[in-house]
Amino acid sequence: MKHFIVLTGPQGSGNHMWSKIFSLHKDVYGWSDLNKEFWIGHDREPFNAYWKNISALKDFDWQQSDYYVSSISVPYMENGVATVPKINEFIQCLESLGIKATVCVIGRDKNILSMQEQRLRLAETYHQALEVYQNLPMDKTYFLSHELLILYRHQYLNKIRKDLNFPIDVNDEEVENILGENANKKYLRPIEDHWVDELARNSSRKWHE
């Protein structure tokens, strides 16, 4: 059975990074142009037109591959207007065509999402995504973690590959280039001290000393 993965997350959760990784494998029909450039807009995503006209999926040439991936954030920008995609309708259409659909929901630290969205969109939007994801069918939903990917890298990708039974070119040297420097760093600032610190230090000592 053909397998289609919908990559989705709140604005700023890492759709581009995950799209690059999922599109690396030669057997996957995905956003290959994204791996030729550092960043391009979602208007050039291969299935962009089908998110606007879902019924047109029936006319797509499904003989091109057994594995597909599409990236869509919640909300996504359509001609400058924040738009909520109809994810359930999209996967229902795929299933009516005999294609297995899995929605991979990307997670990222909530505080970082808030700062990123306010910096770029001047407002928090991740609440809209949370509402949409609450209504997804759980048996067709898989969660991806930005933080786990940055920390565990190839080990985590191998786990995802096996869980989803979907080709991911874990050993491609381009994976390290895609991951690059931790994108969370620019939002983090060290603190000098916290009241719990001394409690944590004492926990490793002999209390009777």
Q: Is the pLDDT of residue 204 over 80?
A: no
Distances 197 to 188, 190, 192, 204 between C-alpha atoms, Å: 19, 14, 10, 12
Q: Is the pLDDT of residue 55 over 90?
A: yes
Question: What's the rounded mean pLDDT across residues 172-201?
Answer: 72
The pLDDT tens digits for 134-164 are: 999 999 999 999 999 999 999 999 999 999 9
Phi, psi for residue 76 in degrees, rounded to 5: -115, 160
Between 147 and 78, where is the model more confident? Answer: 147
Phi, psi for residue 119 in degrees, rounded to 5: -70, -45
CATH architecture of residue range(s) 3-182: 3-Layer(aba) Sandwich (3.40)
What radius of gyration, in Å, describes the C-alpha atoms of the chain?
Answer: 20
**Predicted pLDDT of residue 70:** 97
The pLDDT tens digits for 186-197 are: 666 666 675 555
Give dist(CA 69, CA 47) in Å, integer: 9
Q: Is the pLDDT of residue 71 over 70?
A: yes
Q: Is the pLDDT of residue 185 over 70?
A: no
Locate the domains of the chain by residue range: 3-182
**Predicted pLDDT of residue 208:** 45
**Predicted pLDDT of residue 156:** 97
Mean pLDDT of the residues in the chain: 88
Give dist(CA 62, CA 172) in Å, integer: 26
Q: Is 152 left (phi over 0), alpha (psi -120 to 50) or beta?
A: alpha
Token reading at 48: 């962009």
